[in-house]
Structure 1
Amino acid sequence: MESSSDEEEVHTFVQVISDKYNPDNFPYSKGQGLGIVMLPTPPGSPVKDRLFLPSVLVLNDCNISKAGESSDIAVFCGHVVELDLSYNQLSDWEEISTIVSNIPNLDFLNLSMNPLCGAHLEPALAHCFSRVRRLVLIKTHISWGTVHTLTRHTPE
């Protein structure tokens, strides 16, 4: 009897982006190429092709629990302004901070329904949230201390 590997497998933010926006999987890639643009990179570059994703990324309910490589996040998401990560498995502020700190233009972040109860946000990691003007934390059950740490580092 086979067990479901989807429930046990760790999905990273980078893997989900790569899978969702892979030109072979992307529904518009055979048409007019709406949504993503593939640009070839110079020979020897660590990134074979660059994906320029939409500025609003919806990656809800993708079983994401880890960030993945910081450099890949920075390459893929440099222009992203809105990110929906609701209904994932993010339970560690360090992983979330890795994602947020590598998206310099991020203005809106939805973390609703992630299991953040009991996760502690270190003040040293909170600075990366200062650029995020809208943060949604519905049913994350985070502590008031975490809310205070986040709001203390956000601009008025």
Structure 2
Amino acid sequence: EYATVRFSGIVPPVAGCWLGVEWDNPERGKHDGSHEGTVYFKCRHPTGGSFIRPNKVNFGIDFLTAVKNRYVLEDGPEEDGKEQVVIIGSRPVETIGFDSVVKQQSQLSKLQDISLRNCAVSCAGEKGGIAKACPNIRKVDLSKNLLSSWDEVIHIADQLRHLEDLNLSENKLRCPSGSAPLTGAFSALKVLVLNRTGITWAEVLRCASACPVLEELYLESNDIVISESGHLSTS
């Protein structure tokens, strides 16, 4: 289950720290963010909120860790020089005759097209780590992760200078900090997918201004509509 943290602190009379979360699926919650008459946070749905302990929450992993978990393949025991065991994530898979494939894919620097969908990516990680390990990535699927801010997306994209195709669908992204335009992190971006992100039209315009060579933009299921006057708006 996915949720957004809206509150962190004490909720009397029970001791200890609580997190107030708004669930993506409002049927998962129990209330609207209030407890015994006190409003701790607000939800869009009257039953979209819950209080949970911090140790029950998965706050995600950094981008490079997710890449290594999915794409670093390790040679295992061999039989007659033909059989190998490769590890994809945590799952061992036996292969025969794939020596050259394993050798190439285990080198992160050669990766160009990757999918990290539903890998719990929440941040960029150590500064410069992505650029050093896998600088040649051109296409990234980061849909349905735990990214909550455009700032983290910028930190990732800024290290992928050849990035042309980026899918951020199903991430609830806050606007980047400050009022200045987005950085030049998206200077090579041609395809941007923002389906089901809750983005507004004003945010779309801001993103588009940072993508000088953008050719395709996908905005499905964001409640962005075209009025009778022809102007775009959000409902």
Query: Normalised by the shorter chain, which TM-score bucket?
Result: 0.7 to 0.9
- Show the counterpart of 1:132: 189
The 8 Å contact of residues 121 and 149 in structure 1, kept in 2 or not, is answered as: no
- Show the counterpart of 2:105: 36
TM (norm. structure 2) is 0.53
CA distance change for structure 1 residues 97 and 10 in 2, over 3 Å: closer, same or farther? Answer: same
Q: Distance in 2 between matches of 1:140 and 1:20?
A: 24
RMSD of aligned alpha carbons: 2.5
Match of 1:97, as an amino acid?
I
> Percent of aligned pairs with the same residue?
28
Higher relative contact order (CA 8 A, sep 6+): 1
CA distance change for structure 1 residues 139 and 29 in 2, over 3 Å: closer, same or farther? Answer: same
- Pick the aligned partner of 2:202 from 134, 145, 148: 145
Q: Distance in 2 between matches of 1:136 and 1:106?
A: 13
- Show the counterpart of 1:121: 176
- Aligned to 1:125, what secondary structure does the other structure show? coil
- Aligned to 1:109, what secondary structure does the other structure show? strand
Query: Greater helix percent: which structure?
Result: 1
TM (norm. structure 1) is 0.77
Q: Say whether residues 1:87 and 2:144 are aligned partners.
A: yes
- Aligned to 2:73, what secondary structure does the other structure show? coil
Instruction: Deviation per CA, 1:55-95: give whole Å up to 9, x if none.
Output: 10101010111111232100222111100000111111111
Match of 1:36, as an amino acid?
Q
| Paired positions, count | 139
Q: Distance in 1 between matches of 2:187 and 2:72?
A: 31
Structure 2 unpaired stretches of 5+: 1-52, 75-86, 214-235
Q: Say whether residues 1:16 and 2:66 are aligned partners.
A: yes
Instruction: Deviation per CA, 1:132-153: give whole Å up to 9, x if none.
Output: 1110000001122221111112
Structure (1 or 2) with the larger CA radius of gyration: 2
- Aligned to 1:86, what secondary structure does the other structure show? coil
The 8 Å contact of residues 60 and 120 in structure 2, kept in 1 or not, is answered as: yes
Q: Distance in 2 between matches of 1:28 and 1:78?
A: 29
The 8 Å contact of residues 182 and 206 in structure 2, kept in 1 or not, is answered as: no
The 8 Å contact of residues 182 and 210 in structure 2, kept in 1 or not, is answered as: no
Q: Distance in 2 between matches of 1:144 and 1:95?
A: 21
